[in-house]
Structure 1
């Protein structure tokens, strides 16, 4: 998560337009013992899913070195298998910018009908995406956006600001319910310099402000389990009493929760970010983690649906317009103990 600029972490397609309606989300542990994430696919049905012209869809994404990216690749492949008219051509995943550029160029040379591309870094892969578009290959830009709109036909991704708003609203309402007047609110970010992190923090701050609260302290944890553990340990040591904690990413949250349990702290409640299965099991158990807000890797399955329709010259059957929209933004849902059973089968493994 260093050279590449992640844009994601949090869940759920916020509209029935392409029927993805499923879930998961974010950065995680690199533990080889972690089970493979479940793929969430949308079952065939509706006019858009009727067989059409046979097309070949190219796919490129970073290496699956954490749960969210692993779920991205799995969802894309599983969705493609739902269609008899789709040939799925995935290149070797990599975290090396130059290798991903070369991989995308191979798909351009293969003359795929459409390309689904989650770049390691939108800025650095902008030129090769533009090359595909100039070659007449429509690009579905997944999550990490290219700066040049001429480099993609469609963008689909999550709402980072919305994640922060969802988390802030949950925290604000819970603190009001508890009657806490001057709460100590701690925020554990991903990578502080990233726009996605800044958007999440702004959404969180704006929502808290609407409830009359502000963040007491925040620190970034680099989207890893190890740094999540270290940062949480430091913050717990610095604040002997905390009322609420928001952790941006459920994968790094594995380390955060370990630090909390190690310290024996139970006086506050925690909200996660992404919607991993691990986080949902913690919520179900009734511990310090009360909720998580989503950012879904099911967007990859939706991207395959979108790319297929574009390559076949079709639009969404539920819309009046004849072509697929230029952009699709996922909504961030809030998962609590009240609805966790409905979401748990859809979570990805941290």
Structure 2
């Protein structure tokens, strides 16, 4: 299916949210995690059926087949509105290449046919590059997989660092085209506006309002035009975030690269749903010398917004992670590929939830 889709309204709160990180830059097996969080090793040795060593009779840590890290992002979002409601499975982004997502899906024992929808956060290959390999994994009997995208797919994008005087250093690899997706049995759905998916339990935003002065987009980003020219493209206006509302806890916000600015993303989500923020998850794009001055005001804003947990991943950068850990302590969780998070809702606490804090 190729074409514009009628938008749905509203966001249904969920009783259960399970998050599985299928692609990220980092692998973390040993750091202490909060309740509800599981290391990849625990998933393999506790939740799966690990191979048994014939010599000693104990399970083998089968590292040959565990997850691999890659510069990109993909997260599986499982939602259930209530105990007797159907479960929904949404994949937010697909990582950078034809290898990492495929390997990690096999490692985490995720059935490709169980995925109901793929959502692209934006058109950058480190978020779209695994799609065609995922579609190839699905069985011939599976229905075409909806692929939820912003309609403004660029012809090409590149990197032109200011330190190089604006010269284009490299082109970013091509995103899958609409025709390639359709040929691989993906059903393209183009959405410029915010809309609910997964039975109303996941909200996919529209374009993020840019209201924070210090969040100036992706410095040095350029795109290639039909006229054969490279032009500035720092705003990355096709970027979208996803959000889930957990009963009794608040919003879980997935912003896989935050080119729009994580402050703008959180402000937009809270304005849309008037709910406190429980988790902020994904790439905060604060890495690199050019973006260092954004770290302090970003951390200060998140401290005021008051999420219980911040999971800085992908393109956040080590300096920003250190600053977030200093501010949030154990609330800054070193999440990585292979981790699983289970968030259980509790409707009895909803009446006592604090109002959102964004001042």
- Judge same fold: TM > 0.5, yes or no: no
Alignment TM-score, normalising by the size of structure 1: 0.32
Question: As a proportion of its length, which structure holds more helix?
Answer: 1
**What is the TM-score with the length of structure 2 in the denominator?**
0.32
